[in-house]
Chains A and B, each alone.
Chain A
Amino acid sequence: MPDDVAEQRWKLYGDSQPSMVAGGHSHVVSLLSALDDPRRGYSAAVAYSANLGDGVPNDPSYWEFFREQAAGKVAVVVWNGNQHQDAFLLRPTPPFRVFHQAVTEEQAASDGVWIPSSLLREYWDGTFSEFSTLVSNLKERSKVVVVGTPQPKPLEFVLGALARDPYFVDRARDLNLPIQASSITSGATRLAMWHVIQDEMRRRTLDVGAIFVAVPSVAADSRGYLASKFSNPDVTHANAEFGTLMWETVQQALAGGL
């Protein structure tokens, strides 16, 4: 794609001479929204679709645009983070549960058989491999920080949000599932899957010599789900407050405070 066309599709939001440039899939929008925070005391920008209504960038030219904009700066990568929701928010048949030490086994007791977390890692190997390639490429011209993606939301919240989400409503219709609690994978299993994803992202990030910034525990409620203070009204995403938290946490990490 010619550069001028790419420039028309993608845009750098925020400071014109930022020290940090974030890019990534839909969860980067919380960092983008945080740029409007009047208290903001850091220099940052976000590479995203020029027309926000176009949705999530998913095109090689976007990643090249991000790479160019982040050259010589700190590249803050927000990669996927919705793969567990996309594949398994609606309860598969038969259901399954996944072990992670951060989630109590009692929480997961209502779901089906245990499946190995290594099975999930292979299931998502495609997106993880793309992630590793991206971070390696970015590292050639930027200092790379990968940030964690927001925790899943509690079942009671998801149920309400799901009914308003055309994507998941369509999916439920296709699967002939009513929008009700029994159609949703338990919060514990979604939480365990989220931890599996975060662990794998961390491992791959460190493998290529980049920095991984996990989501701080303050973002979680007492059960481990995304705290309501940081939650966007939809099924999966976090809000600008979460974006601010992550920008600040990235700064702490860069300053050696984490």
Chain B
Amino acid sequence: MKHPYEDQPPQAFWSRSVASNFDPADVVESSAHLVQTDRVLTAGSCFASNLVPWLRSSGIEYLSAEQSNPAFSHLPNYLGYDSFSAAYGNIYTARHLLQLLQRALGTFHPIEDRWHIDGLVIDPFRPGLRHPASSDREFDLLTEQHLTAVKQVFEDATVVVFTLGLTEAWESKADGAVFPVCPGTVAGQFDEERHQFHNFTVDDVRQDLIQIFELVRSINPQVRFILTVSPVPLVATATNKHVLVATTYSKAVLRAAAAVCDDYDFTSYFPAFEIVSGPQAPADYYAENKREVTDPAIEAVMSALFSDVVRLPEKHVNSDDQSSVELSSLLAKAECDEVMVEGRS
């Protein structure tokens, strides 16, 4: 009688598929492939913004509901608010995305929904917005418009690509509203009476993801999800652990929670984390600071994700203007508000 491993394909064996012959495209489930007719929405940590130029150059429709008006295109717009399908900026945790959806659908109204600072009204959920509101009414109008755009893109998407970034988050003690970054780092003021640390568990993240699936499919029943885990380590941890240990915990939790994809036929896991941080990855996939993901790593990830829809490298390298790879690099370097944690420490 054969033992179970005898019928396994080469990719089931480390020696044959990792130690040698490793091809990032081989680790992608067929269900995670994009098709030319897809309308793709992206959300997640700053690593997710790398998808945008690749999507755009692949000919797949990238949903983008809140781009800057061209009349103001010469003004800088930093921290990635232009880099996702609506101007929600970086969404590091599943809880943040869940609550964003709940706000867009009118089922969650955070108590601490604005900060008044120096005559401006700051959005705690988009604290790095370069152009905040100047009055409460203006804030209400801009926020309502944003949440309408969020709902619209989630209704229009055929594929939602969500990159899980962190388990560590700061939330309002009043109602658990999760902020993208710790109050006081990008904007606002930290107040231990109002703000608390929350390090999400596998079960937390898994349940949040299930609720995200349910909510989005309640307004868009045909949508598919592709989950990824960002390979970018934590800038800093608020736990009492070494940041390396905290990073490992965080990524392990996210990876384990993302296994929820196995429970649904409309969800897929795309192994960006494994491609970049696995033992097979070349040393130059991380920059000298051992945190920043380099252009070759991004290219490897994106090539794998787009392997079925785009012939590489012709589609991406042949550009008269700034290449997609360069754009990816710029986006990744410029738009992580998470790094502000370090900036003020």
Query: Which A residues contact B (CB, under 8 angstroms)?
Result: 87-88, 92-94, 96, 99, 101, 105, 113-119, 122-123
Contact B69 A116 (CB under 8 A): no
Residues of B within 8 A of A119 (CB): 72, 75, 131
B70 within 8 Å of A (CB atoms): yes
In whole Å, how far is B157's beta carbon from the nearest beta carbon of chain A?
20
Query: Which residue of chain A lies nearest to B69 when distances are taken between CB atoms in the complex?
Result: A96
B135 interface residue (CB < 8 Å to A): yes
- Say how far B139's CB is from chain A's closest CB, in angstroms: 9
Q: Are A118 and B120 in contact (CB under 8 A)?
A: yes
Asked if B344 CB lies within 8 Å of chain A CBs, one says: no
A87: B residues at CB distance < 8 A? 71
Expressed in whole angstroms, the minimum distance between the Cβ of A257 and any Cβ of chain B is: 28
Does B248 make an interface contact (CB < 8 A)? no
Interface residue? B142 (CB, 8 A): yes
Chain A: minimal CB distance from B130 (Å):
8
Residue pair B135, A101 in contact (C-beta under 8 Å): yes
From B69, B131, B141, contact of A94 by CB (8 A): B69
Contact between chains at B72 and A116 (CB < 8 Å) = no
Chain A proximity mask over B120-149: 1 for CB below 8 Å, otherwise 0: 100000000011111101100110010000
**Minimum C-beta distance from A223 to chain B (A):** 20
Q: Residue of A at shortest CB range from B140? A: A99
Measured CB to CB, the closest approach of chain A to B79, in angstroms, equals 15
CA distance A122 to B130 in the complex (A): 10
A104 to chain B, nearest CB (A): 11
Return chain A residues, CB-CB under 8 Å to B71: 87-88, 92, 96
CB of B138, distance to nearest CB on chain A (Å) = 4
Task: Establish whether residues A116 and B75, one from each chain, have CB atoms under 8 Å apart when the complex forms.
Answer: no
Task: Please state if B137 and A116 are interface contacts (CB–CB under 8 Å).
Answer: no
Residues of B within 8 A of A122 (CB): 75, 130-131
- B residues within 8 A CB of A105? 141
| Contact (Cβ within 8 A) B145 A113 | yes
Q: How far is the CB of B121 from chain A (nearest CB, A)?
A: 10
Residues of B within 8 A of A123 (CB): 72, 75
A114 vs B145: C-alpha distance when bound (angstroms): 8
Write the nearest CB–CB distance from A23 to chain B, whole angstroms: 30
Q: Are B69 and A118 in contact (CB under 8 A)?
A: no
Chain A residue numbers with a CB within 8 Å of B138 are 99, 114, 116-117
State the majority secondary structure of interface residues on A. mixed
With A94-B69, A119-B75: A114-B141 Cβ-Cβ less than 8 Å: yes
CB closest chain-A residue, reference B136: A101
Q: What would 8 A/B residue contacts be, using CB atoms closer than 8 Å?
A: A87-B71, A93-B70, A96-B71, A99-B138, A115-B69, A118-B131, A119-B75, A119-B131
User: What are the residues of chain A within 8 A of B72 when measuring CB–CB?
Assistant: 115, 119, 123
Let me know if A99 and B141 touch, CB within 8 A.
yes
Q: Are A117 and B75 in contact (CB under 8 A)?
A: no
Q: How far is the CA of A88 from the CA of B72 in the complex (A)?
A: 11
Query: Which one of A88, A94, A114 has the greatest number of beta carbons of chain B within 10 Å?
Result: A114
Q: Are B131 and A116 in contact, CB atoms less than 8 angstroms apart?
A: yes
Question: Complex Cα distance A118/B139, Å?
Answer: 11
Contact B133 A116 (CB under 8 A): yes
| Set of chain A residues within 8 Å of B131, measured between Cβ atoms | 115-116, 118-119, 122
**A115 to B66, alpha carbons, bound, how many Å?**
11
Q: Chain A contacts of B130 at CB under 8 A?
A: 122
Contact B70 A99 (CB under 8 A): no
CA distance A230 to B58 in the complex (A): 57
Contacts of A113 in B (CB 8 A): 69, 145
- Please measure, in the bound complex, the distance between the C-alpha atom of A101 and the C-alpha atom of B145, giving whole angstroms: 18
Render B163-181 as a binary contact track against A, CB cut-off 8 A, 1 for contact.
0000000000000000000
Chain B residue numbers with a CB within 8 Å of A96 are 69, 71
- Contacts A118-B133, A119-B75, A119-B131 given; 18 further ones with Cβ under 8 A? A94-B69, A99-B135, A99-B137, A99-B138, A105-B141, A113-B69, A113-B145, A115-B69, A115-B131, A116-B133, A116-B134, A117-B138, A118-B132, A118-B134, A119-B72, A122-B75, A123-B72, A123-B75
Least Cβ distance of B142 to chain A in Å? 6
Inter-chain contacts of A114 with B (CB < 8 A):
138, 141-142, 145
Question: Smallest CB-CB separation from A196: which chain B residue?
Answer: B134
A116 to B134: give the CA distance in the assembly, Å: 8
Interface centre among B70, B71, B137 (most CB of A within 10 A): B71
Asked if residues A117 and B69 are in contact (CB atoms below 8 Å), the reply is no
Q: How far is the CA of A119 from the CA of B131 in the complex (A)?
A: 5
Residue of A nearest to B120 (CB): A118
| Chain B residues closer than 8 Å to A93, beta-carbon distance | 70
Q: Bound state CA distance, A119 and B133, in angstroms?
A: 9
- Given A116-B133, A117-B138, A118-B120, check contact A92 B75 (CB 8 Å): no
Whether A101 touches B137, Cβ cut-off 8 Å, given contacts A116-B142, A119-B75, is yes
A98: nearest chain-B partner, CB-CB: B138
Flag if B135 contacts A116 (CB, 8 Å): no
Shortest beta-carbon distance from B86 to chain A in Å:
12
Q: Which residues of B have CB within 8 Å of A115?
A: 69, 72, 131
Chain B residues with Cβ under 8 A from A101's Cβ? 135, 137
Which residue of B has the minimal Cβ distance to A95? B69
What residue in chain A is nearest B149 (Cβ atoms)?
A113
Question: For A117, what are the chain B residues with a Cβ–Cβ distance below 8 Å?
Answer: 133-134, 138
Residue among B70, B120, B133, B134 with the highest chain A CB neighbour number at 10 A = B134
* Chain B residue at smallest Cβ distance from A118: B131
CA distance in complex: A132, B145 (Å): 34
B143: shortest Cβ distance to chain A, in Å? 10
Kindly state the separation between the CA atoms of A122 and B131 in the bound complex, as whole angstroms: 8
